[in-house]
Amino acid sequence: MRNVRWRSWAISAGALGVIALDRFAYRYLDLLSNGLHESPIHVLVDEVTAAAAGGLLLIPLLFYARRVRRPGVSLGSLVLRHAPVVPVFSAAHTTLNYVFRLGAYAALGHGRYDYGILSYRYLMEFPMDVIVYTVFVGIVYFIDHARETRDRELKLVQLEGELSRLRLKALESQLQPHFLFNALNTISSVMYEDVRAADTMIAGLADLLRRSLRSDAAAECALHDEMDTLELYLQIMRARFAERLTITTEIPDETRNAAVPTLLLQPLVENALRHGDPGPDKRAEVVVRARRENGRLLLDVEDNGPGVAGTPEDVIGRGVGLANSQRRLAQLYGADQRLSIANRATGGLAVRVEIPFRHLVAP
């Protein structure tokens, strides 16, 4: 912060120096163009001292201008607060010009500086000082307003990001109890028929919960990590379905490091197994597929069940898993995502998630 402040003062001093040299060149060339001869040193001293005096006075003016501009102060009130300061600023500027030039002339051995009738000088310099004062204060207020607007926008973006994060966490907190309830229900349904399978399912559930708690802080993970989490869930389901469950995964290497929402696939596969089970005498087949296409990541979960009746919106709205997944996708990607469902021509249901393809950057 201190370096930025010193840099600002250095830039301001440099700008005053450029203005002084520009004024010197204009005045001296004007004299030459009119056939007049005057020492360039005198002209340079006039302009440099004017810039130096003005620069010194602009420092307290900067602090004063910012002090009187408080939240809620109207433009009329600001004008009234600055109006009595303008003559003081002009008189101080003219006085400093005179003092600096006296000193400069004496130091250079050019005799005593003649500023003419000083009272008229104050009147002569006043209009230009009014312009300098007004322009400077206007620039200060413009810069401050722009900085305040930027800070407000930055805070708004931060607040919106925090709100989105909290909403996402709320959705995730809904998802985990929903999954846990369904998993315990599943274990309860088999524990009296097959104690060994129930024991396997409980152990798998413990591993899955432990993994989900470790990744709780991450809204996204790599697809291969999501597949590892899904495999823990599938171990539970294999214990339930025994030989009646076939899971096929098609995950190309180019998609394994793609960023996906954490715990995205588990509720989709759970939905396929709960509502897409073709019946106790048939094999339950689920396919999980990923592919990259035109800068997008397409994730498909398909089953061989009876399919669904009704519109996709109705189907998504019926269950916590699909509805929650859709809301999480919206929180993470806005309109740049899509969750769609459709009955397959060969039977069963297909759920597709489409999100931007992005390689996950390791923290």
Q: What is the DSSP string of 151-179?
A: HHHHHHHHHHHHHHHHHHHHHHHHHHHHH
Q: 288: pLDDT confidence band, cut at 50, 70 and 90?
A: very high
pLDDT at position 287: 93
What is the fold of 191-356? Heat Shock Protein 90 (3.30.565)
Q: 173: pLDDT confidence band, cut at 50, 70 and 90?
A: very low
Q: In whole angstroms, what is the distance from residue 206 CA to residue 232 CA?
A: 9
pLDDT at position 171: 45
pLDDT at position 301: 94
Q: 196: pLDDT confidence band, cut at 50, 70 and 90?
A: confident
Is pLDDT above 80 for 310?
A: no
On whether the CB atoms of residues 269 and 307 are closer than 8 A, the answer is no
Q: Which residues pair with 283 in a beta bridge?
A: none
Q: In whole angstroms, what is the distance from residue 302 CA to residue 347 CA?
A: 10
| Position with higher pLDDT, 275 vs 249 | 249
3-state secondary structure of 125: helix
| Position with higher pLDDT, 185 vs 144 | 144
What contacts 327, CB < 8 A, 6 or more positions away? 171
Q: Which residues pair with 303 in a beta bridge?
A: 286
Residue 323, amino acid: A
Q: In whole angstroms, what is the distance from residue 168 CA to residue 332 CA?
A: 8
Q: Which residues pair with 339 in a beta bridge?
A: 353
Nearest partner of 329 among 296, 302, 305, 304, judged by Cα: 296
Q: In whole angstroms, what is the distance from residue 265 CA to residue 340 CA?
A: 14
Query: Of all residues in the chain, what percent carry a pLDDT higher than 70?
Result: 82
pLDDT at position 174: 47
Residue 321, amino acid: G
On whether the CB atoms of residues 197 and 186 are closer than 8 A, the answer is no
On whether the CB atoms of residues 287 and 300 are closer than 8 A, the answer is yes
Q: 87: pLDDT confidence band, cut at 50, 70 and 90?
A: very high
The arithmetic mean of pLDDT across residues 262-275, rounded, is 83
pLDDT at position 163: 52
pTM for the whole structure: 0.51
pLDDT at position 73: 77
pLDDT at position 354: 95
| Position with higher pLDDT, 92 vs 199 | 92
Q: 317: pLDDT confidence band, cut at 50, 70 and 90?
A: low
Is pLDDT above 50 for 314?
A: yes
The arithmetic mean of pLDDT across residues 9-13, rounded, is 67
Q: 160: pLDDT confidence band, cut at 50, 70 and 90?
A: low
All CATH 3.30.565.10 domain ranges of the chain, comma separated, are 191-356
User: Which helix H or strand E contains 220, and what residues bound it?
Assistant: strand 220-222
Range with top average pLDDT, 155-164, 234-243, 267-276: 267-276
| CA-to-CA dists, residue 100 to 94, 107, 139, angstroms | 10, 10, 27
